[in-house]
Homo-oligomer: A and B are copies of this chain.
Amino acid sequence: MIPEDHPRYRSLKVRERLARCAREGIVAMEGLAAHGRGEAFDYLLGERTTECARHACRTAAALLVTARHPVISVNGNTAALAAREIGELQRASGAGVEVSLFHRTEERIHRITDLLEEHGVEVLTGEAERLIPLSHDRAWCLREGIGAADVVLVPLEDGDRCAALRSMGKQVIAIDLNPLSRTARMATLTIVDEVTRALPHVTDACGTLGAEECARLIQTMDNTYLLRAAIQEMRERLTHALD
């Protein structure tokens, strides 16, 4: 039991949930270390959604609601952390949800699908095919899911896979706390924020943006600017950290 008076209670509870999901086979061991890396960058962001990240969330909503065939790609960490938030975003955006794993086994796919469905997510199912130009298991996806998508939201994605999806002509929205990562730099749009904080902002914006506002957000989208702004936030926080 983590004592509720611990100053890092929330962060420790999240870590505890991931550890439980690792024991249940939903989160990979490598996913635990990856989460820790994200936590460090979140620390530098001040564990809050910055103005720039909020703007990125609105732009992500604009891309999703104007897409022909939007799909949310969900891995073990995302399912463990944000199954409910994924369900809410699905209902607000009309996007399909596909389970897509770096460390892919049929058993993990089933467990994660069950977890998502328990939280009200409608999960795409079917026979996966090797459609993504990558070696190994990361090539697999559903023809009618990520295969047919024009816009893919990939929270917590691997950099290689992000690049491969881009090479297929898809627009990729990443949620990644590390603004230096290959994922963050390869994506069409990167939300530098923690996934459970970011998703509700995207969901809210899906319900409120008009067509003109969507067009304006997409026309003015500048990912390098967003990444530089996130790095600047981290630098400033480091500067005043010991004041």
A residues neighboring B (CB under 8 Å): 1-3, 5-8, 12, 15-16, 18-19, 22-23, 28-30, 32-41, 43-44, 135-136, 159-160, 178-180, 182, 185, 224, 227-228, 231, 234-235, 238-239, 241-242
Q: Closest chain B residue to A4 by CB distance?
A: B135
In the assembled complex, which residues on chain B have CB atoms less than 8 Å from the CB atom of A234? 238
Cβ contacts under 8 Å, A37 to chain B: 36-37, 39-40, 43
Q: How far is the CA of A37 from the CA of B40 in the complex (A)?
A: 5
- Collect the chain B residues with CB atoms within 8 Å of residue A32's CB: 22, 29, 32-33, 36
**Contact in complex: A241, B180 (CB < 8 Å):** yes
Do A29 and B23 contact each other (CB < 8 Å), given the known contacts A7-B160, A159-B8, A242-B185? yes
Measured between C-beta atoms, what is the minimum distance from A3 to chain B in Å? 5
Q: How far is the CA of A179 from the CA of B44 in the complex (A)?
A: 11
Excluding A15-B34, A29-B32, A37-B37, 20 further A-B contacts by CB distance (< 8 Å) are: A5-B135, A6-B160, A15-B30, A15-B33, A19-B29, A32-B32, A33-B33, A34-B36, A38-B40, A39-B40, A40-B41, A179-B241, A180-B238, A227-B242, A228-B242, A231-B238, A231-B239, A234-B238, A235-B235, A235-B239
Q: Please measure, in the bound complex, the distance between the C-alpha atom of A160 and the C-alpha atom of B6, giving whole angstroms.
A: 8
- Complex: A154 Cα to B238 Cα, angstroms: 24
Residues on B with C-beta less than 8 A from A39 are 33, 36-37, 40
